[in-house]
Amino acid sequence: MLVRGVFLGSHLKPTGLLFAGLALWLVNLAVFALLYWELDGGGPEARADGYRDRLPGLVFPQQQADQQGLALAIWKPSFYDYIYLSLTSSIAFSPTDAMPYSKWAKLAMGVESVLSFATLAVLVARAVNIARG
């Protein structure tokens, strides 16, 4: 809807366009948070068992050896950690907190960054297109 609005025009007013873009960005954030949560280390059940069958695809600072003493030794990422990861990946367009170690994690973070950037670019393009002055 946003891309079509840039090229063909839209009935949305500027505030409607802003809310549509915000809704799209929030859905993007939620989808990638769920993706990270479901795929990292084989999923929530595998992480609860201590990554017995698979290594984590995303490594959080609390899991690194040089960070011992800053978190409990039994620390495991929760869904909130994946929401934060998705938020920072979509805003900074790069890894900030957790580092991707697997191919799927690198690909997912790259796709999220590209989608977030594209959403922002379309919003800016449409805003410039409808600006009066």
Rounded to whole angstroms, the Cα distance separating 124 from 132 reads: 14
Residue 133: is its pLDDT beyond 60? Answer: no
Residue 57: phi and psi, rounded to 5, are -85, -25
Beta bridge partners of 100: 58
pLDDT digits (tens, 9 = 90+) for 88-126: 988 887 778 889 988 999 999 999 999 989 888 887 777
Q: In angstroms, what CA-CA distances link 54 with 4, 35, 74, 84?
A: 42, 16, 17, 23
* Both tokens assigned to 104: 């799927």
- Tracing tokens 């960070």 back to the chain, one arrives at 67
Domains of the chain as residue ranges with CATH: 2-45+54-130 (1.10.287)
* Closest by Cα among 85, 88, 3, 74 to 39: 85
- pTM higher than 0.85: no
Cα separations in angstroms, 9 against 17, 96, 122: 11, 37, 12
Integer Cα distance of 18 and 41 in angstroms: 36
For residues 57 and 101, the answer to whether their CB atoms sit within 8 Å is yes
Mean pLDDT for 12-31 is 82
pLDDT (tens digit per residue) in 46-86: 777 776 667 788 888 887 777 777 777 777 888 999 999 99
